[in-house]
Amino acid sequence: MADTAGARPDASGEARPPAHKVVRALLRAAGSTIVLVIIYYVLPLDHYSTGVAVTALVIGLVLLIGLTVTQARSIVRSPFPGLRALESLATSVPLFLLLFASTYVVMAKISPGNFSQPLTHTDALYFTVTVFATVGFGDITAKTEAARLVVTGQMVTDLVIIGLGVRVIVGAVRRGQQRRPRDAGAQPSK
């Protein structure tokens, strides 16, 4: 059985992607994360109001949902759904975290009393990741009701992202794997 694409089945019968496709996917994943972080650091976030920040956050989250739906479809259609899922997560998760970090930077600039200390871009990103990871060191805390509401919104959204988001991505990978023939001579399952 000759495989012209260079992919060989692994123990589960699924074809593994060629090494150059894995490297390319990893580079795209790292590249998209790096670009998002650079954009976050160069944005002049200290020029916005809280209303604009919260509106941008809501619009960003709606766009993130649309991006996730588009990515799920792309994963299903991909010849290597696991790789495509990795690329999707490398865009979606940093975008999600950076949306909240941006909101926290704006809130801290507008009213320094929103948080227990002034927040730089790095501080806000650190705080966002500690909330996402449910670590909560306590070195930075939300002090006002507005800040606590946004942080609570992030916590609830974190749970949705972790639960529903992972389920959508894993489901898309499974559907993508089922779409593909197990080997060169097999017919795709229906």
Per DSSP, 114 falls in state G
The closest of 64, 17, 9, 10 to 36, measured between CA atoms, is 64
pLDDT tens digits for range 44-73: 887 777 777 778 888 988 998 898 889 888
Per DSSP, 142 falls in state B
The closest of 98, 121, 99 to 108, measured between CA atoms, is 121
**pLDDT for 81:** 85
Pick the CATH number of 19-178 from 1.10.287, 2.160.20, 3.30.160, 1.10.357: 1.10.287
pLDDT tens digits for range 88-106: 888 889 999 999 999 999 9
**pLDDT for 48:** 76
Question: Which residue type, as a one-letter code, is found at position 149?
Answer: L
pTM comes to 0.77
Residue 170, exposed/middle/buried by CB under 10 A (0-12, 13-18, 19+)?
Answer: middle
Alpha helices (runs of H) in the chain, residue ranges in sequence order: 19-42, 50-77, 81-110, 121-132, 145-160, 166-179
**pLDDT for 180:** 66
For residues 110 and 164, which has the higher predicted lDDT (pLDDT)? 110
71-83: average pLDDT: 86
Q: Cα–Cα distance between 128 and 24 in angstroms, integer?
A: 29
168-182: average pLDDT: 76
Q: Look over the chain and give the mean of its residue pLDDT values, rounded to a whole number.
A: 83
